[in-house]
Amino acid sequence: MRSTGEVLGMDRELDMALYKGLLGAGMRIFTEGGVYVSLRDHDKTEEAAAWMKQYAQEGFAIYASAGTCRFLTDHGIPCTAVPFGAVSGMIGDEIQVMINVPQVTNKISTDMFPLRRQAIEKGLPVLTCMDTAGAYLAAVKLKKAGVIPEYRAIFGAYPENATAG
């Protein structure tokens, strides 16, 4: 969502526009399974805790790095701490969604880079900022509710907003 804008999701409702954008980008929207989360200290906020609580309420199992798991359990969110070396073996089996907010993105020498790459190669969503994790959560809720996006052409999509030329 914050990268280069390859996909545009348009709708009158923000959550639906985000849902369309994620689908248009080819992202799989899982409605169950496990979420692995690893946050930098800066992103351990009340808002992040609220989103992760909603993931748990939607039925996702929450797995996390040790520090992030402490943060989540301090906020009453059930969580399983996963040793770093075990994450690779869980991707695609127990873990369907990865939320990893790294200090530095796309630096091959970081510990999490190979894990993010592995998840991407397996076709799993890898979310690298909490805003996108929130957008993904909105899409999960819409999909679980059975909402099917309605698509329109960009030109003339909303005629009441058009101006006479």
- CATH number assigned to the domain covering 14-148: 3.40.50.1380
Mean pLDDT across the stretch 111-127? 90
Q: Which two tokens stand for residue 159?
A: 């005629």
Q: How are strands ordered across the β-sheet holding 34-39? A: 80-81, 61-64, 34-39, 97-101, 126-127
Helices 66-74 & 46-57 angle (0-180, nearest 10):
90
Mean pLDDT taken over the chain: 87
From 74, 76, 77, select the one nearest 55 (Cα to Cα). Answer: 77
Mean pLDDT across the stretch 73-80? 98
Q: Domain residues of the chain, as ranges? A: 14-148
pTM > 0.75: yes or no: yes
